[in-house]
Amino acid sequence: QVQLAESGGGLVQAGGSLRLSCAASGRTIRSYAVGWFRQALGKEREFVAALSWSGGRTYYADSVKGRFTISRDNAKNTVYLQMNRLKPEDTAVYYCAADPSWAGGLGDEYDYWGQGTQVTVSS
């Protein structure tokens, strides 16, 4: 089993930056694809970014492309989401997810999920 724990959320002004972390435990996710998703209050969950196990393949939602960067440190069993030039519409609970296979933006394909971390961007 894989347990995922997000951290790094908080309150930031528009234009600012945050880096979210997702620490895995239980087993290594070195060979797992990983993704970030978010859910704003009253809205459906949406895809943010995905990264292959090797780090050689990335996929971003159009809404975050050029502002967010997904990365991983396999030695630390941790995945990151660097978020720059944040906008109020980025306000949401952010979740990390992992799967042994490439799942891209298909949330239902991910086997493992964290509990989420709140990101609030003030205008």
Note the pLDDT tens digit of each residue in 38-93. Answer: 999 999 999 999 999 988 999 999 999 999 999 999 999 999 999 999 999 999 99
pLDDT of residue 44: 97
Model confidence at 30, in pLDDT bands (50, 70, 90)?
very high
Give CA–CA dist 60/93, Å, rounded: 17
- 75: which residues sit within 8 A by CB, 6+ positions away? none
Per-residue pLDDT, averaged over 27-33, amounts to 93
Give CA–CA dist 36/79, Å, rounded: 9
Q: Are 78 and 72 in contact (CB under 8 A)?
A: yes
pLDDT of residue 55: 86
pLDDT of residue 4: 98
* Helix (H) / strand (E) containing 76: none
